[in-house]
Amino acid sequence: MKKLWNNKNHDQIFEFCEEYKDFISQNKTERECVISIREMAKKEGYKDLKEIINSATPLKAGDKVYATNLDKCIFLFKIGSRPISDGMRILGAHIDSPRLDLKPNPLYEDGPSKIALFDTHYYGGIKKYQWTALPLAIHGIVCKKDGSTININIGEEAQDPVFCITDLLPHLDRDNSRAAENKINGENLNVIVGGIPVDEKTEKPVKKAILNILKTKNIEEDDFISAEIEVVPAGKARDMGLDRSFILGYGQDDRICAYTSLKAMFDSDENQFTLAGMFVDKEEVGSQGASGMQSLFFEDMVAEIANLMGETSPLSVRRALRNSFMLSSDVTAGFDPNYASAFDANNDAFLGKGISFNKYTGSRGKSGANDASPEYIAKIREILDKNEINYQLTEMGKIDQGGGGTIAYITANYGMNVIDCGCPLLNMHAPWEISSKTDIYDAYRCYKAFLSIKD
């Protein structure tokens, strides 16, 4: 643990964070992240692995490829000069964030109030009351039966309307006080979408009027069945504090690590080991599903790449995975002065003290934890110190206070070395999360240095 702010890099830190703020402001769903990452990768010379497989083009050192699954996760590879069976250098982050999803039949009108609302089903670990009484945006995709798709993004531009979930006024909520979490349940999270009726005679006249508006965008009520629409906080990420040392933004868990990993991969000049960048979905709900880390998609892509590199034995894939070094890049809880009793000040992460490593995550007696080996940690310390990168070795809160998981335990199943490492946040999983700019830059520098780690 070294100095709080590295003033030597002050200008670079602020400059880097401007682009980071743009990234998280423009990419608020996993799909939007995949599309942006793919476009950025293409500009860096990455090619679609699918096309390379189809044309059976051999891969050689220096080649760069990407593989997308369901447009909800994306993997980047930069081929090294050594055989892939020697292992890869892997940065893995997730691009899904807690939010509210529209239910399959979302639109309804409340009888007495004549207000039209969208019914939602929350995704990930949220404190439900935090999602009330703030401006919300709607992002997503509607898939039509004819195969066409309609992209939705409403609430981000200054002239756009926004949406809101109500909370009860304090005047009528005398027994509320601090029991907010118990008062607002998942079924209360209904988003107001309209209040003007078509006419007096029609049944459910406000719902009808909303359906008319949707029709002008080629969306029928039934189309919600084949849609994926997410309700997220409206507005851009912003500098926070008089000194602008912090960033307040949505989805920093875990796009803060995704963006810094991506930039590190683009800027790395490592050419011996094959580099891999993982940007996966579903971490917030357990990493299942075709686009989550538990899917075999990553392993399959490694097999395809090994094959195109001329390593055709199935053993190469096993060796490539087993011999890899990985950073499971995910955020952790920053010590919060307002809730100090939840933390162990000697062992928790502080904002501004650099990138944070968790030897183990999990809960209770480390249940569900990946446990990084001290040999591996020593190797990482060496490279971080050599590059003068600020870092901290931390836990996540006091013992038995709670806990959490990442994707580390999944890739650890291959026998590879992996450790959790990311920026500490305040307000984690709240609609607006807080990060420290200096940690973001340390994360970028840490990931870049890590990619050049040798055997």
- For the CB of residue 29, give the shortest distance to Mn ion in the complex, in Å: 15
- For the CB of residue 125, give the shortest distance to Mn ion in the complex, in Å: 7
By beta carbon distance, the residue nearest Mn ion is 254
Binding mask 276-315 for Mn ion (x = CB under 5 A): ----------------------------------------
* Cβ count near 410 (within 10 Å): 21
- For the CB of residue 40, give the shortest distance to Mn ion in the complex, in Å: 21
Binding mask 223-262 for Mn ion (x = CB under 5 A): ------------------------------xx--------
The dihedral sign for the CA sequence 355, 29, 158, 40: positive
Span from 29-37, 152-160, 181-189, 323-331 in contact with Mn ion (CB under 5 A): 323-331
- For the CB of residue 181, give the shortest distance to Mn ion in the complex, in Å: 18
Nearer CB in complex with Mn ion: 254/336: 254
Nearer CB in complex with Mn ion: 389/430: 430
Nearer CB in complex with Mn ion: 309/327: 327
- For the CB of residue 33, give the shortest distance to Mn ion in the complex, in Å: 13
Nearer CB in complex with Mn ion: 286/415: 286
Nearer CB in complex with Mn ion: 93/229: 93
Nearer CB in complex with Mn ion: 189/408: 408
- For the CB of residue 307, give the shortest distance to Mn ion in the complex, in Å: 32
Nearer CB in complex with Mn ion: 270/281: 281
30, 32, 228, 330: which one contacts Mn ion (CB under 5 A)? Answer: 330
325-329/88-94 β-pairing: parallel
- For the CB of residue 331, give the shortest distance to Mn ion in the complex, in Å: 5
Size of the site for Mn ion (CB under 5 A): 3
Span from 219-227, 293-301, 330-338, 375-383 in contact with Mn ion (CB under 5 A): 330-338
Binding mask 121-140 for Mn ion (x = CB under 5 A): --------------------
Nearer CB in complex with Mn ion: 253/395: 253
Contacts with 425 (C-beta within 8 Å, 6 or more apart), sequence order: 252, 253, 256, 331, 332, 333, 334, 351, 433, 434, 435
Nearer CB in complex with Mn ion: 287/324: 287
Q: Give the residue carrying structure tokens 């090619």.
A: 47
Span from 42-50, 149-157, 329-337, 377-385 in contact with Mn ion (CB under 5 A): 329-337
Binding mask 9-28 for Mn ion (x = CB under 5 A): --------------------
- For the CB of residue 427, give the shortest distance to Mn ion in the complex, in Å: 12
Nearer CB in complex with Mn ion: 251/352: 251
274-280/325-329 β-pairing: unpaired
Q: What is the 3-state secondary structure (H, E, C) of the chain?
A: CCCCCCHHHHHHHHHHHHHHHHHHHHCCCHHHHHHHHHHHHHHCCCEEHHHHHHCCCCCCCCCEEEEEECCCEEEEEECCCCCHHHCEEEEEEECCCCEEEEEEEEEEEECCCCEEEEEEEEECCCCHHHHCCCCEEEEEEEECCCCCEEEEEECCCCCCCCEECCCCCHHHCCCCCCCHHHHCCHHHCEEEEECCCCCCCCCCHHHHHHHHHHHHCCCCHHHHHHEEEEEEECCCCEEECCCCCEEEECCHHHHHHHHHHHHHHHHCCCCCCEEEEEEEECHHHCCCCCCECCCCHHHHHHHHHHHHCCCCCHHHHHHHHHCCEEEEECCEEECCHHHHHHCCCCCEECCCCCEEEECECEECCCECCCECCHHHHHHHHHHHHHCCCCEEEEECCCCCCCEECCCHHHHHCCCCEEEEEECEEECCCCCCEEEEHHHHHHHHHHHHHHHCCCC
Span from 171-179, 226-234, 292-300, 322-330 in contact with Mn ion (CB under 5 A): 322-330
- For the CB of residue 173, give the shortest distance to Mn ion in the complex, in Å: 30
- For the CB of residue 356, give the shortest distance to Mn ion in the complex, in Å: 12
- For the CB of residue 370, give the shortest distance to Mn ion in the complex, in Å: 14
Q: Cis before residue 348, ω within 30 degrees of 0?
A: no
Nearer CB in complex with Mn ion: 274/291: 291
Binding site for Mn ion (CB under 5 A): 253-254, 330
